[in-house]
């Protein structure tokens, strides 16, 4: 009764399929330029954009890993560049608005200069 099932001659035994071990594929080399482009995209968008474009092209040519990282670097660099340009335009508009307001306020609160010579024609006293 305590016989294991695989030793019992009355049961039909089926063979398990042989498990074949496959070799793991060789890992692709990560493109270091993609990493640099992604990191630069946050800090300095123009070099990050250039590095990311170069890395994206190189990953396609050499079949390296890092193509998605390079694409993310391109998107982040473009977004960062547009954000910086928007901030620059808003800063310039703010400065011009403050200058225009100050000039208008100065014109409103400045007293007219009195005519100390009583309307004499020029050339008599000066």
pLDDT tens, residue by residue, 97-126: 998 888 887 776 666 565 665 666 666 555
Has this prediction a pTM greater than 0.85?
Answer: no
| Phi and psi torsions of 106, nearest 5° | -65, -40
E-strand spans in the chain? none
- β-pair partners for 86: none
Q: Is 24 helix (H, G, I), strand (E, B) or coil?
A: coil
pLDDT at 9: 59
Distance CA 117, CA 92 (A): 44
**pLDDT tens digit string along 16-58?**
666 777 888 887 788 999 999 999 999 999 999 999 999 999 9
Q: Are 52 and 77 contacting, i.e. CB atoms less than 8 angstroms apart?
A: yes
């Amino acid at each position: 009764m305590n016989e294991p099932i695989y030793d019992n001659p009355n049961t039909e035994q089926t063979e398990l399929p042989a498990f074949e071990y496959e070799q793991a594929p060789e890992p692709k080399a990560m493109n270091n330029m993609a990493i640099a482009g992604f990191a630069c995209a946050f800090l300095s968008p123009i070099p990050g954009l250039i590095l990311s474009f170069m890395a994206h092209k190189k990953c396609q040519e050499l079949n390296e890993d890092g193509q998605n990282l390079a694409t993310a670097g391109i998107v982040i660099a473009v977004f960062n560049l547009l954000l910086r340009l928007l901030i620059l335009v808003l800063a310039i508009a703010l400065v011009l608005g403050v200058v225009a307001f100050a000039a208008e306020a100065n014109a409103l609160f400045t007293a007219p200069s009195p005519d100390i010579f009583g309307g004499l024609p020029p050339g008599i006293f000066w």
